[in-house]
Amino acid sequence: MTNVIDLQAVSWRRQQENILSDINWCVEKGEHWAILGLNGSGKTSLLNIVTGYSWPTAGHVRVLDQPFGKTDIRELRKSIGWVSSSLQERIRETERAEDIVVSGKYASIGLAYEEPAEADFEKAFRIMKQMRCSHLTGRAYQTCSQGERQKLLIARGLMASPDLLLLDESTSGLDFIAREELLSSIQELINQDGAPTIIFVTHHIEEVLPEFSRTLLLRDGTVFAKGSSEDVLTADNLSQFFGMPVNVEWHQQRPWVSLDERML
């Protein structure tokens, strides 16, 4: 398998409106990508296409070497982990932390009907330790902080040993310290042997870790730029992208953007 994701001339219309237009994007095995865009740029819609929850109006989609239209999407999703803040709204407040993680094996929210084996919980505990949230074992979801909840959701997404992990604005709602702790956990995950291909969706430039060596900029449902993060995340590119002059400085291999002094 060369390309984990391969989108060719993909467009998607909803209620006569173009949400995505002529998207060409390939993610090769071993690459980790950041997807950046303002609210409404089409980031989550793009993930819906990748996971088969939305079907393109035009174009061709191949994910994990499976061409859409010739594969069982439900089976394919078992190899894709998707972590979104919207999942939090569907989790019962009284659900135990480890039950939330184990439920990822069954693509369910909690363990209302499943009967997991002891080995499932052992795997969940290993993943929770990996994500630095093993101290949450036995805790009710309602007692966890926002950062702890996000770590549990990522652990849940890893439970089925996916080949592809989609992190959709996983740092949303976190304070600075909780955000950096979560990014550090993601960084450790990427650097482990056998890590899945990770697509990290955000609208905060500074969250692009060095491991996300490739970046896709989405604006108004189209690809504004894509390629090496260092080549894409430049002051000139981002000034055009945002429609106002900005500066970009790199610290510890991470980009930090600020308004140009002419705007202050």
Q: Where are the alpha helices (DSSP H) in 78-192?
A: 97-102, 118-130, 146-158, 176-190
The CA-atom distances, in angstroms, between 261 and each of 239, 241, 246, 247, 250 are: 13, 18, 8, 9, 18
Beta-carbon count within 10 A of 203 CB: 15
Residue 260 and residue 247 in contact, taking contact as beta carbons nearer than 8 Å: yes
7, amino acid identity:
L
Identify the band that residue 129 occupies on the pLDDT scale cut at 50, 70 and 90. Answer: very high
Pairing state between β 33-36 and 58-63: unpaired
Residue 40: what pLDDT? 86
E strand map for the chain: 3-14, 17-28, 33-36, 58-63, 66-67, 80-84, 164-168, 197-202, 214-219, 222-228, 246-251, 254-259
Task: Evaluate whether 64 touches 163 at the Cβ level (below 8 Å).
Answer: yes
Contact status, residue 174 vs residue 146, Cβ threshold 8 Å: yes
Can you give the pLDDT at residue 88?
A: 75
> Which pLDDT does position 116 carry in this prediction?
82
What is the separation of C-alpha 93 from the centre of its chain, rounded to a whole number of angstroms?
24
Q: How far apart are CA 202 and CA 76, in angstroms?
A: 24
pLDDT in tens, 247-263: 999 999 999 999 877 66
Give phi and psi for 230, each to the nearest 5: -65, -30
What is the residue-averaged pLDDT of the chain? Answer: 91
The identity of residue 116, as a single letter, is P
**Residues 144, 152: contact at Cβ < 8 Å?**
yes
Given a contact cutoff of 8 angstroms between Cβ atoms, the answer to whether 215 and 229 are in contact is yes
- pLDDT-derived band at 197 (thresholds 50, 70, 90) equals very high
146 has which bridge partners? Answer: none
Q: Which of 64-73, 79-88, 105-114 has the highest mean pLDDT?
A: 64-73
Nearest to 157 by CA among 113, 108, 89, 201: 108
Residue 240 has pLDDT above 60, yes or no: yes
Q: Where are the chain's structural domains?
A: 3-263
CA distance 214 to 33: 5
Question: Which class does domain 3-263 fall in?
Answer: alpha beta
Residues 45-83 pLDDT 10s: 999 999 998 999 999 999 999 999 999 988 898 899 989
